[in-house]
Amino acid sequence: MKTDPAQQHRWLQQLIGDWTYESEANMGPDQPPYKGEGSESVRGLGDLWVLLEGTGKMPDGTPGTMLMTLGFDPATGRFVGSWIGSMMTHMWVYDGELNEAGTVLTLSATGPDFEHPGQTRQYHDIIEIVGPNERLLSSELLGTDGRWSEFMQARYTRR
């Protein structure tokens, strides 16, 4: 089966390369934000998928490894993907869309509610292309008040 890449697949190709990142995460009330850094290598799986493999230090000082997959499903008109990390057992499954300007990819997922074990919450991971050698990744969660609240941001720079 041969599938020709669509414009959305070509959009993902701009992520390919080696990157470093600096991040800041909200660790909860009355705690200072966690500042981290790491690296990420992004490669294509053919012309239809990208694999983002990252490493960095977790807040407790242990190393962490992450793998994100991203693609586009022409049948649904949606971006699709997943995220797994060595620090948790949950596999995040993405459903996403690109903004009209073609600069921001918002990926929605359902995952564990870290404040209420056994419950789930809605999350966004948002990839914003700042320029050919810079991008942002922010993560936010949907609060009980119906508002989205950012809890992590990372700035990626191409090596």
Query: What residue ranges do the domains of the chain occupy?
Result: 7-26+33-158
d(CA 49, CA 8): 10
What pLDDT is stored for residue 98 in this prediction?
98
Nearest in space to 19 (alpha carbons), one of 114, 142, 154, 143: 154
Which DSSP state fits 14?
Answer: T
Share of the chain above pLDDT 90, in %: 91
According to the model, what pLDDT value does residue 2 have?
Answer: 84
pLDDT band for 142, please (50, 70, 90 cuts): very high
Contact 121, 142 (CB under 8 A): yes
Q: What are the tens digits of pLDDT across the range 54-106?
A: 999 988 889 999 999 999 999 999 999 999 999 999 999 999 999 999 999 99
Question: Whole-prediction pTM value?
Answer: 0.95
**The CATH fold of domain 7-26+33-158:** Lipocalin (2.40.128)
Which residues fall within 8 angstroms of residue 26, CB to CB, at 6 or more apart?
Answer: 33, 150, 151, 152
- Residues with Cβ within 8 Å of 33's Cβ and at least 6 positions away in sequence, in order, are 24, 25, 26, 27
Amino acid at 2: K
Dist CA 83 CA 93 (whole Å): 7
